[in-house]
Each structure stands twice: as C-alpha cells, then as structure tokens.
Chain A
Amino acid sequence: MAAHNSVHAGHPEGFKHQFEDMEQQREADSLGMWIFLSTEIMFFGGLFGSYIIYRTLYPAAFEIGSHLLEVKFGAINTAVLICSSLTMVMAIRSAQVGKRLAQVNYLLFTMFLGAVFIFIKLYFEWRHDYLEHLAPGLGFIVRPEWGTAGQHVPMFFCFYFFMTGLHALHMIVGIGILTVLTIMAKRGRFGPEYHQPLEISGLYWHFVDIIWIFLFPLLYLIGGRY
C-alpha cells in the first residue's frame, strides 16, 4: 500500500498512468464519449429515418395525429430541458473553478429538471393519450371524423410513443448517472484538475437534449397549427 501511494504522489487525483498528462487524458475521455454519441446518433437515426418514410407516405394521418398532441406541453418540456442543460454546464464550470457546494447544487437542480420533464411526459401526456384511446395496442380507437386517413393514425402514435419513450429512457439513465455524480461531487472528487466524469456525462445529457430539440417540431408541429 505504501508503495502504491508513492506511485500516486507525483500527480493530481484522478490521473490514470497510461496517459502522458492530464490534458491527454481529458481529450481521450471526451473522444471516447463522442464515439459513443455517434453510435447513439445512428440508434435514434433509424427511428428518424423510418419516421421520414412513413410521414412521406401518410402525410394526412401524421398531421391528424400531430394535432392531437398538446403543443404547450412539448414547448414547456423543451424549455425544461434547455434549463437543465444550462445547470449541467454550470455544474461542470463550478468544478473547473473549484466550487464544491455549487457543483452539488447545480447537479441536484439538473436532476430535478430531468424529473420534471419525465413527470410532464408521463402524467400530462402519455397518461392523457392512453385515456383518450390514442395508445396503439392498448385500446386505440380510430375516430370517424379522421376520414380515410384515420386508419393510418395509429402509425403516427407508434412513432410518437417509441421516439418519446426511447428519449425518456435516456433521460432516466441520465438521472441515474447524475445521482452517482452528485455523490462523487459531494465527496469532493472533482476539482479544477479532474472533472472528466462531469464533462462526459454532460456530453450525454446535452445529446439527449438535442434529440428532444428535433422531436419537438417533428412530432408536435407537423402541418402547422393555424
């Protein structure tokens, strides 16, 4: 143990020996996260690709489906996520300038905003859609006023539930990661020299934010609201 400690004596906490210096370690960490995010782009890309195909094939049904969603909840949730992205970068910045308490508070606030998003999604939207018989496979009812396009409206709601569902799943994973980070931050693990776990988790959190930035217009604002 004594020998082990002496090996670590010459460098800041969190430094891993395979790297030349802290700078190189930071770059390698971010690069790895970005490669993961590239695979995530492809993961969601498959859904976006099929969305494009079916929206092109059934534009009328997608417009009917989109108009059954509440724009206000989509817009509020966009704002909530943007706020959470701001608190996330502020948490990282607090670590960079060595403020431990601010770090913990910003992380807690980011988690809170993430939970608000999930709550609005689950309670005001999914629950409401289910009760309105708009959940495919769970008692979906095609309304006569939709006309001939009506039979394809369930397709829109399949995309709606799968895309927002996969996004919400990423949010829940993100909140889990933030929980671990908050505990680490509280124990004083992050500072000006070492805060890579915060940085790369931030990349993930912002990526999930970007997915929603595209989902909002693609699901809620089809064909205009005039």
Chain B
Amino acid sequence: MSSSHVVPVKTYLMVFAALIFFTGLTTGVAYIDMGAFNTVVALAIAVVKMLLVVLFFMHVKYSTGLLRIIAFAGIFWLAILVTLTLADILTRHWSPASTTWGLIVPGLRGLF
C-alpha cells in the first residue's frame, strides 16, 4: 500500500447524515419527560456520535492496532476518572457520617 486509505465519499456522507440525525434526535427527546433517563439517553446518543466521528472521520476504523490502543487508552482513563468520582460522590451518604460535616461543607448539607 503506497498511499493512505481513501474512504468513499458515500461513506462520509452517510456518517454526516447520521450525525445530523442524532443531533436532531437528542434535541427532540429532551422535550419528552423520561425522568432520570433523559440524561442517560442524551449521553448514549453523544457516545454513538463520538464513535461515528472517531471511527470514520478520524479513520480509526482503517488504522493499525497500535493507534487504536492509544485512542482507546485516552477514553479508558477518562472512564476511570468519571467512575471513581461518581463512586465517591454518590455513596457518601451510605455510611453513617458525622452530622457536623454538613455544617463544615455547605454543599454537602443535603447528603447527610
């Protein structure tokens, strides 16, 4: 292979159409009451859009394994950051904590 992979214009146009469709979809579903699932759906759509951009526009689908590992590692480390942050914040009220904590940190008042 002397030249880099040339992706057909049709593929780019289809990815583009899908991205525009999902933008409309995520805006549309925001007007439907789904409770806590509004956030879940919005983030799921954002992840799908991200994958479309990464795989086709950023050519990861046509790249070598080494490059895929680097691309994945960045997202994986972000996932660790988010997961451990949430594991802390969402479980603080599980164990009995001194009620005075809420007095020290005003933002935590509701959690204890």
Contacts and interface: CB of A to CB of B under 8 A. Distances in A.
B12 A224 contact: no
B53 A85 contact: yes
A89 B85 CA distance: 36
Contacts of B107: 57-58, 152
B6 A52 contact: no
The size bracket of the interface on A is: 35 or more
A75 interface: yes
Given A49-B81, A58-B107, A206-B53, A217 B6 contact: no
A27 B65 CA distance: 11
The size bracket of the interface on B is: 35 or more
B23 A221 contact: no
Interface in A196-226: 199, 202-203, 206-207, 209-210, 213-214, 216-218, 221-226
B49 to A, nearest CB: 5
B67 A27 contact: yes
B104 interface: no
B95 to A, nearest CB: 17
A37 interface: yes
Contact of B57 (A57, A85, A225): A85
A38 B23 contact: no
The listed residue with most B CB atoms (<10 A of its CB), out of A26, A56, A97, A195, is A56
Interface of A is mostly: helix
A71 B53 contact: no
Interface of B is mostly: helix
A77 B82 CA distance: 26
B27 interface: yes
A79 interface: yes
Contacts of B97: none
A226 B33 CA distance: 6
A180 interface: no
Interface stretch (A28-36, A115-123, A163-171): A28-36
B20 to A, nearest CB: 6
B46 A213 contact: yes
Nearest to B77: A42
A58 B85 CA distance: 16
Interface string A45-89: 100110011001110000000000001000100110011011011
Given A27-B67, A57-B107, A213 B78 contact: no
B108 A82 contact: no
A147 to B, nearest CB: 14
B8 to A, nearest CB: 9
Contact of B20 (A79, A199, A209): A79
A42 B78 contact: yes
Interface string B3-36: 1101101001100100110011011001111100
A131 B107 CA distance: 29
Contacts of A141: none
B27 to A, nearest CB: 5
Contacts of B111: 57
Contacts of B58: 202-203, 206-207
What 7 pairs across the A-B complex have the smallest Cβ distances?
A38-B74, A217-B42, A41-B74, A221-B30, A34-B70, A86-B16, A82-B19
